[in-house]
Structure 1
């Protein structure tokens, strides 16, 4: 039996003085260096959970690289898809927690980093963006100027998306519809969620939409069956969001495209990611093997610390990325109304610091 574990940053990296010591650099110096790196264009960008923190979505790990929620226990792919009673119980647990956690993620808005990267994509400085995030915020930042086909061509969701659900036989439904099905099947939890909205007392939500729900019972939660399967004469409630669970393989076409996005770029820029998951770390390794210049913008230790060929800047992206875009695009940042609008937009409401990274 293959042992599957939650991806982590090696303890040796967390403990090393190299990982702990931030590179001393001012916002002005960081802006100039990143602008110089991006200025030639044809840059592929990889983003992680740190990019969405200013939007109010907590990252998995804090500035010291450790999990912000030390009791984090994700459900693995083989558990969710298990056809036994145990698997059914896992699905009850997952869908109850995700039911409560999806709405806050769905309603989250892009922050200045999302819009800064959107401006660079809009002006073709960044032809391809690969995100590990499943929140759809990169799409939201560009959806008023690009159609769905353009978004699909230029943004690759490496780990999938929270915004669609599919059953084990491949029938797909949009997540809002599935949320409605869950509400109808579980009126008591719909009332609970409505009360949360009224009081503002929302449970702690992870970047994948899963919530921390202490002491809850899951055995009475109803996971609705797939209606398409019923039309085809079978009863099936084995359904999952279109995101990649721990222990699940990335689709071959996604993996192939991610490699191509690295290969066709002149440079690689990483933002807000520890690269703890191998699916993203191997893209960095591929870029290094191809001798692509790599610039890394992240606060805290990462899986890549100590690797040769990487330049790292430790400063919050939200502090500098607007200025980076202004430096890269020069007069376009003033006279292009689309770019100007992007640089004026973006929420800044990071989650409360209720779980210190100690």
Structure 2
């Protein structure tokens, strides 16, 4: 006897939900082929031989957490619109630019800060607990490695979770700053369709023009503690990563195209000091073809869990 329609609906609804979640989870992942047995064996061999890993991660690993990257073909922000992230020079010299930035960031923050780590983040945290990672360096500012439990993390480009004064160096949590912005803009709608890799969103011009934001109590400019385009990674941070790379047995790069020099310098350094390097990324990278560098075209969340330590 056929089930009543309502019971049939209830029976299949969990599968529909799982399917929809899967589609949403991969909406920012570029088209790719399933990883092959040979790819898994290649990565397994590298990890087995390289006992003390320095791992470098890029925006590609967070796309499975529903945070888009900039450059992926078809799904990255640069391929879908003309948006470009704000530069350091524009942010510090233009009050209007800061108003626009903070308005967009305010609306995007509730979704950005609730993003959850995916299987790649959790796998790397597990590797660290097993003593296989001496340092995890990330280009991402989303804090997902720390959410997953990784401790030995260097956030190369800083973190969106801290706001810092450019004059007196005072800091506050981004959540506290969100409360301040909300108190200054109580009527602004926080619903948004899509966030960007830095937590920014698109907003109507009228909403931006009426947005209010504070300066520091000292009168200085408040800025997210992240490295904006046109700014430099602190020298001490780079030197520390170099020192850990020297201590390591090899470099594993995950989900990064290495287009920006702040990250590309590390495979260059690895080549210089003869450290074996493995790159796992769906599309080609800037370091392809460097001596001593091996590439695997694969989705990190598919291939990493198959590696046995």
1:188 is the counterpart of 2:187: yes
Q: C-alpha displacement at 1:252, in angstroms? A: 1.8
SS at match of 1:274: coil
Measure, in 2, the Cα distance between the counterparts of 1:89 and 1:65: 29
1:207 is the counterpart of 2:207: no
> What are the equivalent positions in structure 2 for 1:133-148 lying under 5 Å apart?
133-142=140-149
Give the conservation status (yes or no) of the 8 Å contact 1:116–1:322.
yes
Q: Indicate which of 79, 92, 100 corresponds to 2:99.
A: 92
Question: 5+ residue gaps in structure 2?
Answer: 1-31
Give the conservation status (yes or no) of the 8 Å contact 1:64–1:300.
no
Give the structure 2 partner of residue 116 of structure 1: 123
Give the structure 1 partner of residue 214 of structure 2: 224
1:197-220 Cα shifts (integer Å, max 9, x gaps): xxxxx2321111111235444222
TM-score with structure 2 setting the length: 0.84
Give the structure 2 partner of residue 31 of structure 1: 40
> What are the equivalent positions in structure 2 for 1:19-98 lying under 5 Å apart?
26-40=35-49, 41-63=51-73, 67-82=78-93, 87-98=94-105
1:207-240 Cα shifts (integer Å, max 9, x gaps): 111112354442221112323x2xxxxx34x110
Q: Indicate which of 103, 109, 116 corresponds to 1:102.
A: 109
Question: 5+ residue gaps in structure 1?
Answer: 1-21, 144-150, 197-201, 230-234, 329-358
Give the structure 2 partner of residue 305 of structure 1: 288
Aligned-pair Cα RMSD in Å: 1.9
Give the structure 1 partner of residue 158 of structure 2: 160
SS at match of 2:160: strand
Measure, in 2, the Cα distance between the counterparts of 1:25 and 1:58: 20
Measure, in 2, the Cα distance between the counterparts of 1:167 and 1:251: 16
SS at match of 1:223: coil
> What are the equivalent positions in structure 2 for 1:272-291 lying under 5 Å apart?
272-291=255-274
Q: How many residues align?
A: 275
Higher relative contact order (CA 8 A, sep 6+): 1
TM-score with structure 1 setting the length: 0.73
Measure, in 2, the Cα distance between the counterparts of 1:123 and 1:278: 31
